[in-house]
Amino acid sequence: MLNASIVLYKHKPSEIAPLVAILRKSEVISQVFLIDNSPIENTDFNMLNAHYHFTGKNSGYGTAHNIAIRQTIEQSIPYHLVLNPDIAFKPEILSEIEEFMNINSDIGLLMPKILYPNEENQYLCKLIPTPFDLIFRRFLPKSWNEKRMEQFELRSSGYNRMIEVPYLSGCFMFLRTDTLRQTGLFDERFFMYPEDIDLTRRIHRQYRTVFYPDVSIIHNHAQSSYVSIKMLFIQITNMIAYFNKWGWIFDNERKIVNRETLKQFK
């Protein structure tokens, strides 16, 4: 069994209802948590088949998901699914992932193949980033760092086989609850953006963190930081906090983990 959580911000119930319906069609879902960071409570969410929790403030992506994850841990539910609101998939994939995780107890975190609505790959399997990968490259012409980005996004894997990945996207994180008891939850110092990097690399220290392409989901990825100055500022501020925690130039763990990750493709 598993619980799932979706963080809301100024969403309408009609926007979330299809995803809740998908989750409820799965035979392995126990509870669906809707954690609302909006400025105003919307009691219409209580009409959905989910547990609605209004936080009263925009506490951040990871902090909001932690509210639900703590409930999963208290209930001794073996798995927790972190989801973006802009996700769609076939309900039966959750049973398939759960079965795979049951067989492979050394996997702490799994991400399936992520596709755009036109079914093109989203390259969301990544190395542990350097400051250049997350901040400085944004201000350079794309052609200047194309080869570096291909390596950073592990494109040589072909995205057609299971691989070990030290940085998996937070849009769909299938998490083992026992793992979170050991590694901790999302770091609440991060408002948004690097919380998935931080959690994946902490899990990667003790468990396998894998890309599992046998099942796929659709993600309507907006990349808001590329179109909003405000979101770009939030992203850069949080990336600075991330590198202050893990190291800017001197991050020996990053060097070792990335080297081992790339060995899979030689």
- 204 pLDDT band, cuts 50/70/90, is very high
In this model, does residue 103 exceed pLDDT 90? yes
Tokens (6 digits) for 244: 């202050």
- Rounded Cα distance between 90 and 161, Å, is 20
In this model, does residue 122 exceed pLDDT 80? yes
Residue 225: what pLDDT?
45
Q: What percent of the chain has pLDDT over 70?
A: 94
Dihedral sign computed on CA atoms, order 31, 51, 84, 242: negative
Arithmetic mean of pLDDT, 172-179:
98
Matching residue, tokens 């926007």: 15
Instruction: Please list, in sequence order, all residues whose beta carbon lies within 8 angstroms of the beta carbon of residue 182, skipping any fewer than 6 positions away.
Output: 206
> How many helices and strands in the chain, by DSSP H and E?
9, 11
Closest CA to 235 of 227, 9, 5, 219: 227
Domain boundaries, the chain: 2-265
Arithmetic mean of pLDDT, 111-122:
96
- 12 pLDDT band, cuts 50/70/90, is very high
Arithmetic mean of pLDDT, 145-172:
94
Residue 29: what pLDDT?
98
Identify the CATH assignment for 2-265 out of 1.10.3720.10, 3.90.550.60, 3.50.50.60, 3.40.50.300.
Answer: 3.90.550.60
More confident residue, 259 or 148: 259
Global pTM? 0.94
In this model, does residue 143 exceed pLDDT 80? no
Residue 184: what pLDDT?
97
Measured CA angle at 265 (ends 259, 266), to 5 deg: 85
In this model, does residue 226 exceed pLDDT 70? no
Q: In Å, how far are 70, 153, 175, 183, 239 from 31, measured between CA atoms?
A: 13, 33, 15, 23, 32
- Residue-wise pLDDT for 13-37, tens only, equals 999 999 999 999 999 999 999 999 9
In this model, does residue 171 exceed pLDDT 70? yes
Residue 223: what pLDDT?
56
Residue 136: what pLDDT?
59
For residue 13, the one-letter residue type is P
More confident residue, 27 or 139: 27
Chain mean pLDDT for the chain: 93
More confident residue, 109 or 236: 109
- Rounded Cα distance between 179 and 222, Å, is 30
In this model, does residue 74 exceed pLDDT 50? yes
